[in-house]
Structure 1
Amino acid sequence: MTAGIAPYDARYFERYAEMAGTPMGRALNQARCELVERHTDGAVVDIGIGAGTFIKCRLGHHLRPTYGYDVNPAGVAWLHRNSLFVDPYELEGVESITCWDVLEHIPDFEKLVNRVKRYVFVSIPIFQDATHARMSKHFRPEEHCWYFTEYGLKAVFSKLGFDCVEANATEASLGREDIMSFAFKRRVLDERHHPEWTLDESHFAVLRSMRGRP
């Protein structure tokens, strides 16, 4: 899909802050922190911070180095106030990133993933097929660019040099319809940043077709 411009503004930030205070919100952030903790205690950049709840959870409860990146002016302002803003697009590489309900919003997410040296953690709607996606409450052409099966998401990350080392339905068990969580680990042992790790031309052709581009 070619998504429209979603209303990433102060109200968007406030809505996430309200959700964070609910029992489900607290359970989700705890589950996300535990997922990351099972694989790394290193630095993580949270992409699309919502209201900064995951960052506060990981910094405050787990005492792990956690930063953030966002395009929402309210989120950017919060990150700068707390000296936590990191722009992965301006760096050669970052250690690990988290993408909670955000990967599907990024038209060219492979550019972001290519900068990651170790882990990418993702929560995202997962569908059985195109019909399932179109019937889902997660079908939001004004916001979501991408709609994945579990096989398809793992295949894309494999093309980008990552192995799936965990997949779970914890968020679905907490009441989030069709949401799965994944931990992807960079396959190459030295885990240095290599710009050539990208999708091949045949896969790019598929992506361009899906986006409706020439």
Structure 2
Amino acid sequence: MITSPRPTNEALGRYYLSDDYVSHAKKSKGLFDKVYKTSRLYTLRWKLNLVKENLRSKGNSSTILDFGCGTGEFLQTCKQNGFVTTGVEPSDIARAHAAELTAGKVHSTLEEVEGSFQVITLWHVLEHVPDLNQKIEQLKSKLEKDGIMFIAVPNHQSYDARTYQERWAGYDVPRHLWHFSEPTMSQLLKKHGLTLEKIIPMKLDAFYVSMLSEKHSSGRSSIGGFIQGFVNGFRSNALAKPNEYSSLIYLVRK
């Protein structure tokens, strides 16, 4: 599915300047932000282990490109664990923080990046990209022969998406321009000649997205909404059929 109407490419940037856009925020201001930041500590380690487990070439200095690296926490985690890291982040504010955090170069566009990589990661990024097909082809060209790409996106066929409908936080309009399900993502990858190796659920996302959806529904944060969101997140994971979790990671190779 697509967001329509959508902002112009020139206007998109201002929707990432809001204090409510927590993934680019450096401070935790409210209950939901604190939950996000706390769960991120666990998720960073989990993502790192996921990358290590699926690397075919396990050298001491594997190369990784994090496309849409945000404020750089995942890049920092990888660098601390021996990876040679490269980041791409279009937001000036987030990119400056990522460069400071990693003490390295973070590019503003993919066109600036040279060379190829054993690992490319897109953690909740593809849904933001205006030029979807062109960007997938560019990323594919930068993936080494035995490399692997991790694409994490929300799944609009999940239980929590069906529960909250138009108030589901996973839609996040107008920042999210594309909305994926397992069938459509599989079709998209096949179109670009990418081999889908496996699909992994991001179970923590169901809790956070449901809590944020409760906030969207009521217009404010509350303990009651927090609890109801947690309950719906638990239900989403418990009732999910294969590949119908709140967010899915697609592991792909050339």
TM-score (norm: length of structure 1): 0.72
1:23 aligns with 2:52: no
What is the root-mean-square deviation in Å for CA atoms of aligned residues?
2.9
Q: Map of 1:18-57 to 2, 5 A cutoff?
A: 18=28, 22-40=37-55, 41=58, 42-57=62-77
**17 and 43 in structure 1: CA distance in 2 versus 1, 3 angstrom threshold:** farther
Deviation at 1:25, TM superposition (A): 0.8
Contact 1:17 1:51 in 2 (8 A): no
1:98 aligns with 2:98: no
Contact 1:45 1:67 in 2 (8 A): yes
Deviation track 1:114-136 (CA, whole Å, cap 9, x = no partner) reads: 1232332111111228x846452
Contact 1:17 1:50 in 2 (8 A): no
Q: Which runs of 5+ in 1 are unaligned?
A: 187-214
Which residue is equivalent to 2:150?
Answer: 121
1:88 aligns with 2:120: no
Deviation at 1:58, TM superposition (A): 0.9
**145 and 160 in structure 1: CA distance in 2 versus 1, 3 angstrom threshold:** same
Larger Rg, first or second structure (1 or 2): 2
Aligned equivalents of 2:72, 2:154: Cα separation in 1: 21
**176 and 32 in structure 1: CA distance in 2 versus 1, 3 angstrom threshold:** farther
Deviation at 1:106, TM superposition (A): 0.4
**30 and 88 in structure 1: CA distance in 2 versus 1, 3 angstrom threshold:** same
Which residue is equivalent to 2:249?
Answer: 181
Give the secondary structure class of the aligned counterpart of 1:22. helix
Aligned equivalents of 1:159, 1:23: Cα separation in 2: 37
Q: Which runs of 5+ in 2 are unaligned?
A: 210-245
| Amino acid in structure 2 at the alignment position of 1:35 | L
Aligned equivalents of 1:83, 1:9: Cα separation in 2: 23
| Amino acid in structure 2 at the alignment position of 1:94 | S
Q: Map of 1:175-214 to 2, 5 A cutoff?
A: 175-177=207-209, 178-186=246-254
Deviation at 1:90, TM superposition (A): 3.7
Deviation at 1:35, TM superposition (A): 1.8
Count of matched residue positions in the alignment of Structure 1 and Structure 2: 184
